[in-house]
């Protein structure tokens, strides 16, 4: 039985509702650059491999990859973020607009747009080089004003926190969105989740949740910790992604587990973006949370079979 049949969904009807759904994505965007080459010798200058680069690729990463996943599934995405006034920001904007994403970048001439440069040889990553700066307070304040202006025009808000400083005003954004009656989904970062209080749902991975809640000895202990965090932060739910164990949705009335959908794991980078992007879009399209979770799990199973930050297309999802 196909995924759509299992969930009781008609592909044509779902595609129509996804096309009408509008999701506002706010957070830390970055440009993922890949240099692909071959290694056939060790450097005479130091005991390191010499990579002869044959081609390069650029992809939108971070919160921008969340927006890409929404667009790839047929939804309408708006991305709001702070970037540098540089060539990398131009490249990011070009990539996003090519995917049909409404792009609102606040440019800060005092910082560089976050860039992650990966050198890959024979399907192995040799090194990653990161370039990043924290945005200024004035630019962030301007972004908050625009958020307040446009939030009501969207169905769901996704806040994608990569710890780069773009979500300094996260508490205010949650308040504004909830006041407008919009669900707020957050991909959290760090060990202090108090700033996310009042959100609809958080999507930490297993290690991120352990960092905040501590370890657990069994499923009952994990459920108790998750429900305690929901109560403490006044969350509707918590979705913990658990790598090869799948994902578990925790709410006040219990836990719902979904085993991993991945057939072959190639690269897990960006899988969290796919999970929250698919989840948010499905909710915006009127699907209940358990169905949205199933769709997100299936979409993540598709992208981990691809190299780097990737997306699951609507065609790929519907074919499962």
What does the buried/exposed string (b/e) look like for 182-199 if buried means 16 or more CB atoms within 10 Å of the residue's CB? bbbbbbbbeeebebbeeb
Distance CA 232, CA 293 (A): 23
Q: Which of 28, 155, 187, 273 is catalytic?
A: 273
CA angle 260, 157, 140 (to 5 degrees): 120
- CA quadruple 94, 97, 101, 104: dihedral positive or negative? positive
Place of tokens 């929901």: 230
273 catalytic? Reply is yes
Alpha helices in the chain (DSSP H): 3-7, 11-20, 63-72, 87-98, 137-150, 170-179, 206-213, 219-233, 271-284, 289-303, 314-318
CA atoms within 13 A on the CB side of 230: 23
- CA quadruple 272, 278, 280, 283: dihedral positive or negative? negative
Tokens of 111: 């910082």
Chain mean position to CA 85: 24
Contact between residue 257 and residue 238 where contact means Cβ atoms under 8 Å apart = no
DSSP strands (E only) in 233-274: 237-241, 247-251, 254-258
Distance CA 223, CA 36 (A): 43
Chain mean position to CA 14: 22
Residues acting as catalytic residues: 273
């Amino acid at each position: 039985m196909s995924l759509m049949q299992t969930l009781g969904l008609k592909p044509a009807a779902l595609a129509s509702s996804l096309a009408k759904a509008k999701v506002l994505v706010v957070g830390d965007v970055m440009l993922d650059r890949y240099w692909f080459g071959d290694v056939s010798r060790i450097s005479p200058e130091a005991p390191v491999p010499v990579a002869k680069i044959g081609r390069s690729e650029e992809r939108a990463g971070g919160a921008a990859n969340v927006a890409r996943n929404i667009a790839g599934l047929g939804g309408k995405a708006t991305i709001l973020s702070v970037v540098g006034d540089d060539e990398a920001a131009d490249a990011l904007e070009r990539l996003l607009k090519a995917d049909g994403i409404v792009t609102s970048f606040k440019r800060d001439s005092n910082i560089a747009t976050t860039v992650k440069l990966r050198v890959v040889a024979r399907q192995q990553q040799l090194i990653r080089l990161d370039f990043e700066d924290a945005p200024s307070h004035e630019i962030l304040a301007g972004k908050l004003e625009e958020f307040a202006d446009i939030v009501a025009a969207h169905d769901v808000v996704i806040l994608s926190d990569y710890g780069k400083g773009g979500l300094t005003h996260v508490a205010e954004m949650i308040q504004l969105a909830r006041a407008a009656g919009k669900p707020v989904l957050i991909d959290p970062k760090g060990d202090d989740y108090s700033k996310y209080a009042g959100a609809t749902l958080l999507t930490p991975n297993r290690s991120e949740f352990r960092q905040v809640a501590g370890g657990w000895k069994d499923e009952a202990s994990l459920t108790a910790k998750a429900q305690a965090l929901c109560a403490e932060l006044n969350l509707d739910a918590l979705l913990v992604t658990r790598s090869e164990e799948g994902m578990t949705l925790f709410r006040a009335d219990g836990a719902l587990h979904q085993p991993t959908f991945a057939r072959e794991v190639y690269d897990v980078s960006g899988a969290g973006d796919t999970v929250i992007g698919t989840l948010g879009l499905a909710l915006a399209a009127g699907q209940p949370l358990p169905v949205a979770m199933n769709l997100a799990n299936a979409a993540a199973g598709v992208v981990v079979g691809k190299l780097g930050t990737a997306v699951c297309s609507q065609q790929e999802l519907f074919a499962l």
